[in-house]
Homo-oligomer: A and B are copies of this chain.
């Protein structure tokens, strides 16, 4: 039975295990600093499919198949799949996962989806509503560009604040607690924050206030300080958003976050010196692939003991941008602990 901590945080006393994770990525991600961490790097971003959207669906399918394989399970063993993506009507998930026959809970949190899906899967396992639950999401540079901005063929220039949507998918398998496996200790579901940023090429700035608020909520609810955590890992704030996030955390919430205690998946995924990714990575697949490879591996071996994954999402659409609207944002957080090392 979940336990409410403070106003916004849920603790999972049964310690649902993150039994395995899988991360599959495209070419640019496979050329980045984390290349050795991924389960699969596709040499062709179409994955042999006829459209970018179908390629994105294929990414999700591969990630789920690999994650299940790691725990020796088949789709028939899974009780629920929590999935969403950035595509209109979340078709990356519905088309990618339609053949698995797993009860499907579609979620939408833009780039916050990995933490949102983890939190829901964790609650379902904790409440014994699910024995085995999957959390999965994806993004694709080419499908996202043409949907949120312009088709690639248009050749539009991107300003330095823009981020590169990761071509990637990540899937986690959750189940009842198992000694020796990392576990989901708590989750904080975010509130929507909209400070009036209207620039769809500066998502980091739009999302930073939401990340700061959710982290502040989590720390207050759990009576923790950043030093109780090894890392606070934001989803895809990038270079611009990362600076703003730390500033807002101190200024608005009185929380001093040392640089060594913070990492951002958008900055981990690419080498900004060598790769043309402007302010860093973004997209649901960014935090999904980094969490389910680099982060989870370090939790599995205990070199990281307590990680707060704070995935951030910009809840805009191309229509809302064209209508001159500002960008509502959200951040969901999941506390994942190394086996036997957690303090909840």
Closest Cβ–Cβ distance, residue A341 to chain B (whole Å): 25
Q: Does A123 contact B127, Cβ atoms closer than 8 Å?
A: yes
A84 contacts partner chain B, Cβ-Cβ < 8 Å: yes
Report Cα–Cα, A318/B88, bound state, in Å.
8
**Known A-B contacts A127-B123, A328-B98; A91 and B315 likewise in contact (beta carbons under 8 Å):** yes
- A103 with B8: in contact, given A84-B108, A323-B51, A328-B94 (CB under 8 Å)? yes
Determine the chain B residues whose CB is within 8 A of the CB of A107 once the complex forms.
105-108
Q: Is A294 an interface residue (CB 8 A)?
A: no
Contact of A89 among B1, B101, B129, B316 (CB under 8 A): B316
A128 touches B325 (CB 8 A): no
Contacts of A88 in B (CB 8 A): 88-89, 317-319
- A239-283 interface code vs B (CB 8 A; 1 in, 0 out): 000000000000000000000000000000000000000000000
The answer, yes or no, to whether A189 is at the interface (CB within 8 Å) is yes
Residues from 30 to 83 in A contacting B, C-beta threshold 8 Å:
50-51, 53-54, 79-80
Binds B, one of A15-23, A158-166, A190-198: A190-198
Measured CB to CB, the nearest residue on chain B to A87 is B317
Q: Is A116 located at the chain interface by the 8 A CB criterion? A: yes
Taking CB atoms, residues of chain B closer than 8 Å to A79 are 4
Q: Mark A82-123, 1 if CB is under 8 A from B, else 0.
A: 001011111100110110011111111110000010001001
- Contact: A194 with B129, CB < 8 Å? no
Q: Is the CB of A286 closer than 8 A to any CB of chain B?
A: no
Across the interface, do A94 and B124 meet the contact criterion of CB distance under 8 Å? no
Q: Is the CB of A116 within 8 A of B123?
A: no
A330: Cβ under 8 A from any B Cβ: yes
Task: Tell whether A320 is near chain B: CB-to-CB under 8 Å.
Answer: yes
CB pair B91 A316 closer than 8 Å: yes
Is B53 a contact partner of A89 (Cβ separation < 8 A)? Answer: no
Measured CA separation A129–B140 after assembly (Å): 34
Partner of A319, one of B53, B84, B86, B109: B53
**Chain B residue contacts of A120, Cβ below 8 A:** 105, 120
Do the beta carbons of B323 and A10 come within 8 Å of each other? no
Q: How far is B2's CA from A190's CA once the two chains are assembled, in angstroms?
A: 24
B192 pairs with A97, CB closer than 8 A: yes
Whole-angstrom CA separation of A94 from B192 in the bound complex: 7
**11 A-B contacts (beta carbon < 8 Å):** A4-B131, A10-B129, A91-B317, A91-B319, A91-B320, A94-B315, A95-B315, A95-B320, A98-B328, A127-B129, A147-B319
Known: A98-B194, A103-B191. 11 other contacts (CB 8 A): A88-B89, A89-B315, A91-B320, A94-B328, A95-B320, A103-B189, A103-B190, A104-B189, A104-B190, A104-B191, A105-B120
